[in-house]
Copies of this chain bind each other. A is one copy, B any other.
Amino acid sequence: MIAFEKGYAVCIDGKSRGVFETLPQKYSDLPVIDFGDRLIIPGLVDLHIHAPQYAFRGTGMDLELMDWLNQQAFPEEAKYADLTYAKKAYSIFAEQMKKSATTRVCMFGTQHRPATELLMELMEETGLVSFVGKVNMDREAPDNLREESAEASVQATIAWIESVSQKFQRTKPILTPRFIPSCTDELMQKLREIQMTYELPVQSHLSENQGEIAFVRELRPRNKFYGDAYEEHDLFGRNKENHKEVKTIMAHCVWSEEEEVELMRQNGVFVAHCPASNMNLSSGIAPIRSYLDKGLRVGLGSDVAGGHCESIFRAITDTVQVSKMYWRLVDSSASPITFPEAFYLATKGGGAFFGKVGSFEEGYDFDAIVLEDAVLPYPQELSVLQRLERAVYLSLDLNGIYAKFVEGRQLF
């Protein structure tokens, strides 16, 4: 982790040209914004959040996954059939995302096409770069939330993709089968075709909870492990037929077995580590040290509303904290994730899903957050890195961000 005191972060045409202690002569004609003594850091990346669950974040937190889905998530998501409610709720969500330290985000909507398109319009207005998914689910959900058939789900998905693919500059569709339990084999097979036609990325859930894993085993006995069910339909990092990459995020991966982990590695699947959610829903602790040792791609997710808060600062400190518990209570060979490592996961780690994102190194997209940490008084000397660690631990982002840039564009 490198930090400069009173340094310069240079941006041209939305790309970073690097960070410097003194401004190189060749950049001396560029306009300068002086942020004084404030902290400037790369924008943060949220690889996993459910936009329609934002409304009930931080409530009903004493429930476990399946009860929580049935009592909290599904009833709320059903409301997004009503575009008036969707507008009210998603406007709040988009406004809060704009205020947050997050500059890039992959999100689930609901299965409703109009509400999801509205969500994309609102996200486009924020200035963030987003992938947004219309959810597919044609089984194992309440009647008012389940799509009528695989075919109906597919038709709505194609119509949605056709409608939104070219519509926005910063907001793109992502294929979003909710998870194996809520998608029939027929639907999964057709999503494979859609993926091949439109070359969309994919996001879903994987090996979050032991009950869920047992259910997948029951539903699809032919698959060797949970992730193999996605792999069968070429929705797990690569297409076996045409050998193309299928950019994929799998959220959670708390209980992934060895073969699953190895396949994720081979296929370049991104793990969205969501520690707050894993604690709140009593899922367990994902073995992130082992994933990093094996060379998996890992980023962080807030997983609102399994996670109670959109703060990726909080996801960073939660990552460190749960890794310490894992080390102490589960596997003493898995050394804790350090603060710089967790900060990396929240920036370059997840940023890699978007391209060259999450750093001020030359050639990276210029996403930046400016923090006003003077609101946290202190009596002694602190280095820039100590100030950053403190700002992140004290969730300074919840008190607001001073300024925010995405691809070089200042949002506020």
Q: Report A45-82 residues with CB < 8 Å from chain B CB.
A: 55-62, 76, 79
Q: Are A59 and B389 in contact (CB under 8 A)?
A: yes
Kindly provide the distance from the CB of A289 to the nearest chain B CB, expressed in whole angstroms.
13
Given known A-B contacts A61-B339, A320-B62, A309 and B279 have beta carbons under 8 A apart: no
Select which of B59, B282, B392 is within 8 A of A336 by beta carbon: B282
Scan A265-295; emit 1 where CB is below 8 A from any B CB, else 0: 0000000000010011011110000000000
Given known A-B contacts A309-B393, A393-B309, A398-B399, A386 and B59 have beta carbons under 8 A apart: yes
Name A93's closest neighbour in chain B (CB-CB): B379
Chain B positions within 8 Å of A377 at CB level: 92, 95-96
Q: Report A334-368 residues with CB < 8 Å from chain B CB.
A: 336, 338-339
Chain B positions within 8 Å of A282 at CB level: 324-325, 327-328, 336
Q: Are A279 and B325 in contact (CB under 8 A)?
A: yes
Assembly stoichiometry (copies)? 2
Alpha-carbon gap, A56 to B383, bound state (A): 11
Alpha-carbon gap, A88 to B379, bound state (A): 6
Scan A307-331; emit 1 where CB is below 8 A from any B CB, else 0: 0110000000100111011011110
Given known A-B contacts A55-B378, A338-B62, A325 and B324 have beta carbons under 8 A apart: no
Q: Report A385-407 residues with CB < 8 Å from chain B CB.
A: 386, 389-395, 398-399
Name A378's closest neighbour in chain B (CB-CB): B55
Select which of B56, B283, B284, B328 is within 8 A of A284 by beta carbon: B328
Chain B positions within 8 Å of A76 at CB level: 380
Kindly provide the distance from the CB of A109 to the nearest chain B CB, expressed in whole angstroms.
15
A382 within 8 A of B: yes
Can you give 10 contacting A-B residue pairs, CB < 8 Å? A58-B392, A59-B382, A60-B386, A61-B317, A61-B339, A62-B339, A276-B321, A279-B324, A309-B394, A322-B325
Interface centre among A328, A382, A390 (most CB of B within 10 A): A328
12 more A-B residue pairs beyond the given contacts A62-B339, A308-B394, with a C-beta to C-beta distance below 8 A:
A55-B379, A58-B389, A59-B382, A62-B336, A89-B380, A95-B377, A280-B321, A308-B317, A309-B394, A325-B325, A325-B329, A399-B399
How many chain A residues touch the partner (CB < 8 A)? 53
Kindly provide the distance from the CB of A400 to the nearest chain B CB, expressed in whole angstroms.
9
Select which of B88, B285, B392 is within 8 A of A329 by beta carbon: B285
Q: Are A393 and B61 in contact (CB under 8 A)?
A: yes
Chain B positions within 8 Å of A95 at CB level: 377
A20 within 8 A of B: no
Kindly provide the distance from the CB of A382 to the nearest chain B CB, expressed in whole angstroms.
7
A35 within 8 A of B: no
